[in-house]
Amino acid sequence: MRYIEPTRVKVLMMMFFATGSIGIVIGLSPVAGPQQTLMITFMGVINIGLGAFFTFILLTQIQKEPDKRKKKRKSD
């Protein structure tokens, strides 16, 4: 898998965790209609799962090393 900058992964994590938790809260509250409660809660759980996936990516990816071919050599 390609290296992804940690700031981008953190933004995606926070976005998925926030929307997932809001979706679960709204889905379980009486605000939503009786037909939508299960679907909204299910979508919130999917968003929490995506947040966990991006957390896994953030914790397991190897830091990108600079390309040695592009490095200039010092000549004496």
Could you tell me if residue 49 is inside a domain? yes
Radius of gyration of the chain measured on its C-alpha atoms: 20
Q: How far apart are the C-alpha atoms of 72 and 57, rounded to whole Å?
A: 32
Q: Which pTM does this prediction carry?
A: 0.77
Among 24, 7, 14, 4, residue whose Cα is nearest residue 52? 14
Could you tell me if residue 71 is inside a domain? no
Domain span including residue 12: 6-61
Highest averaged pLDDT of the listed ranges 12-16, 57-61, 66-70, 71-75: 12-16
Could you tell me if residue 20 is inside a domain? yes
Could you tell me if residue 73 is inside a domain? no
pLDDT tens-digit readout, 24-65 = 999 998 887 888 888 999 999 999 999 999 999 999 988 877
In the chain, how many domains are there? 1
